Amino acid sequence: MSAALEQNLKLLADSGQANALKGILHGIEKEGLRVDPNGAISQTGHPQPLGSALSHSHITTDYSEALLEFITPVFKESGDALNFLRQLHNFTYQKLGQEELWNASMPCSIASEDAIQIARYGSSNVGQLKYIYRVGLEHRYGKMMQAIAGIHYNFSLPEGLWPVLQQLQNNDDSQQQFRSDGYFGLIRNFRRYSWLLLYLFGASPALSNSFLCGREHDLEQWDENTLYRPYATSLRMSDLGYSNKAQAELNICFNHLDTYIKTLTQAINTPYPAYEALGVKTEQGYRQLNSNVLQIENEYYSDIRPKRVALSGEKPVHALLERGVEYIEVRNTDINPLLPLGIDQQQADFLDAFLVTCLLSDPSEVSTEECDLINQNNDLVVNRGREPGLTLTRQDKQISVKAWGNLILDDVIKTATLMDQLDSSDRYSSAVQAQRTKLADPSLTPSAQILALMKQQNLSYEAFILQQSRQHRDTISKTALPQEQQTYLEQLSISSMEDQAQIELADHQDFDSYLQDYLAQ
């Protein structure tokens, strides 16, 4: 990492153009299950006072009716995104009645998959597309996996940074090409070093035994209702959370935008025998959008994604192809049940410094062998990350988690120092130093703290998370929502219902034809 990073930081500083790093754009998406007062998954539909899940810009659903998703606008300050997220929680708590918002990544107790109701989005073609896609996920992976929740951290570098970097690096590609290549370099380095994020911020070391009911596993029993791994950091990111033979063969390691698009497009257009056997449309209706390896791009699960805002009706992969990468979506962030929002300012500051470091470091391509090593290292950290003496593989040599973690932080602190100078603060450096303490003492990691509190209070996973969720609701609800924001969100709920009605009225094409046109893009 170091040589290229130091050179790029020096070029920015010596040219007097380091200011181009100011104005990073942030957005946060956070999922959360609605649960009843006893902590069981809600059996009610999406609350009407929250508006339309199809057309509301900030409050929607993910896989199921019970899985809420909050989406902030884009802000220059991560703190503003966090504040908006807090306001969305506050507004939602007002509308939930006796229900709670489950503030953890691994789900509450779910008696059976029948208790998970697939999200519905109305009768419009786009609403049916969203619903049938989720029906396809049920048939392909089962519903239980779709009850997992996470936080997506959306990160976009200032537009003014790209021409500066391009000039400093004497690059003569088109700006769109340079920007997309830059983001892909960032993504490759993220994948190399993101095991550290799983160690530092992983917050799912335990889960309800109902999640694995009927499945073979080698987890240990905490109590009659809870399973765990003693040194796990993020079971959400392990193969318990997600495993799929069809996708395992895709082997996407993000070397180039064109190969990324080509691989995804190929997967969307390649029939998969097991899915062909399911059938696409039966007398009872659609079972999936198609019988290919992927129904649509979103089905490809990865810990980070290149993104571009798509136009209405446009496929994401087409938007990337036409206009290049616009931002990246970090997807390996657990909801931390110790924090009211599941994420805080210090974590956001660290992520910013970490991601800029990934951008400015050596963007060398990832070989198939390195890709396998990345997956092995991640697997070790999610399952055994805090285990004394655990080693990972770095450049074909074994190295301890602590030693390699500190080497990465040695680089991140260089970026943080420059970002602090631009910000006239020490917030980024402080965020990095706070992570060093977790490498020195694994008991300070969220995953260790969660297990320690469960033990100290003699609580099952479910009882602990329900307790935390109630406390966080009380904390957030104590601060009244500003009247202007209250009015805005009330009006948005009403107008989103009107928007959905308009979308449904405007449809003049039958769904079969609509789907055919959509998939043909």
**What letter does residue 310 receive in the DSSP assignment?**
P
Mean pLDDT of 282-287: 94
Mean pLDDT of 62-83: 97
The residues, any chain, with a CB within 8 Å of residue 66's CB and separated by 6 or more, are 33, 34, 35, 41, 42, 43, 44, 116, 117
> Which has more pLDDT, 484 or 265?
484
As a whole-number percent, the residues of the chain with pLDDT over 70 amount to: 99
Nearest to 306 by CA among 332, 318, 324: 324
- Look over the chain and give the mean of its residue pLDDT values, rounded to a whole number: 95
User: 65-74, pLDDT tens digit by residue?
Assistant: 999 999 999 9
Contact predicate 109/33, CB 8 Å: no
Count the neighbouring beta carbons within 10 Å of the beta carbon of residue 397.
8
User: 452-494, pLDDT tens digit by residue?
Assistant: 999 999 999 999 999 999 999 999 999 999 999 999 999 999 9
Nearest to 201 by CA among 346, 76, 71, 101: 346
pLDDT band at 214 (very low <50, low <70, confident <90, very high): confident
Q: Cite the beta strand spans of 75-148 per DSSP E.
A: 100-101
- Burial of 369: CB neighbours in 10 Å, binned 0-12, 13-18, 19+: exposed
Task: Tell me the β-bridge partners of 282.
Answer: 285
| Crossing angle of the two packed helices 345-360 and 78-95, in degrees rounded to 10 | 140
Contact predicate 125/514, CB 8 Å: yes
Mean pLDDT of 309-330: 92
**What letter does residue 55 receive in the DSSP assignment?**
T
- pLDDT of 167 strictly over 80: yes
Mean pLDDT of 326-340: 98
Count the neighbouring beta carbons within 10 Å of the beta carbon of residue 458.
9
User: 374-426, pLDDT tens digit by residue?
Assistant: 999 999 999 999 999 999 999 999 999 999 999 999 999 999 999 999 999 99
pLDDT of residue 154: 98
How far is it, in rounded angstroms, from Cα 208 to Cα 223? Answer: 10
Nearest to 334 by CA among 238, 225, 193: 238
pLDDT of residue 287: 97
Q: Is 457 helix (H, G, I), strand (E, B) or coil?
A: coil
The residue type found at 303 is D
**What letter does residue 205 receive in the DSSP assignment?**
S
pLDDT of residue 215: 87
pLDDT of residue 505: 97
Q: 496-505 burial, b for 16+ CB within 10 Å, e for fewer? A: bbebbeebee
Q: How is residue 308 written in tokens?
A: 């571009």
Mean pLDDT of 5-30: 96
Task: Tell me the β-bridge partners of 333.
Answer: 151
Mean pLDDT of 293-321: 91
Nearest to 490 by CA among 121, 100, 92, 122: 92
Mean pLDDT of 182-195: 97
> Which has more pLDDT, 244 or 449?
449
Nearest to 291 by CA among 308, 307, 274: 274
SS3 assignment for 330-368: EEEECCCCCCCCCCCHHHHHHHHHHHHHHHHCCCCCCCH
Please give the C-alpha separations between residue 133 and each of 138, 296, 300, in angstroms, as whole numbers.
9, 8, 13
Give the alpha-carbon dihedral of 497, 501, 506, 510, to 10 degrees. 110
Count the neighbouring beta carbons within 10 Å of the beta carbon of residue 112.
11
Mean pLDDT of 347-373: 96
Contact predicate 27/474, CB 8 Å: no
Mean pLDDT of 30-51: 97
- pLDDT of 244 strictly over 70: no
Q: Is 154 helix (H, G, I), strand (E, B) or coil?
A: strand
The residue type found at 341 is L
Please give the C-alpha separations between residue 149 and each of 75, 220, 241, 296, 332, in angstroms, as whole numbers.
23, 22, 10, 20, 11
Contact predicate 302/331, CB 8 Å: yes
Contact predicate 368/251, CB 8 Å: yes
**Gyration radius from the chain CA atoms:** 23
pLDDT of residue 1: 64
Lowest mean pLDDT among 22-31, 160-169, 310-319: 310-319
Count the neighbouring beta carbons within 10 Å of the beta carbon of residue 215.
9
pLDDT band at 56 (very low <50, low <70, confident <90, very high): very high
pLDDT of residue 243: 59
pLDDT of residue 418: 97
pLDDT of residue 239: 87
**The pTM is what?**
0.97
Measured at the CA of 316, the angle between CA 311 and CA 322, to 5 degrees, comes to: 75
Q: How is residue 373 written in tokens?
A: 């090593």
pLDDT band at 520 (very low <50, low <70, confident <90, very high): confident
pLDDT of residue 313: 77
Phi, psi values for residue 261, rounded to 5°? -65, -40
- pLDDT of 241 strictly over 80: no
- Burial of 94: CB neighbours in 10 Å, binned 0-12, 13-18, 19+: middle
Strands 100-101 and 67-71: unpaired
HSE-up of 152 (CA within 13 Å, CB side)?
23
Nearest to 357 by CA among 417, 306, 398, 286: 417
As a whole-number percent, the residues of the chain with pLDDT over 90 amount to: 91
Q: Is 31 helix (H, G, I), strand (E, B) or coil?
A: strand
pLDDT of residue 312: 79
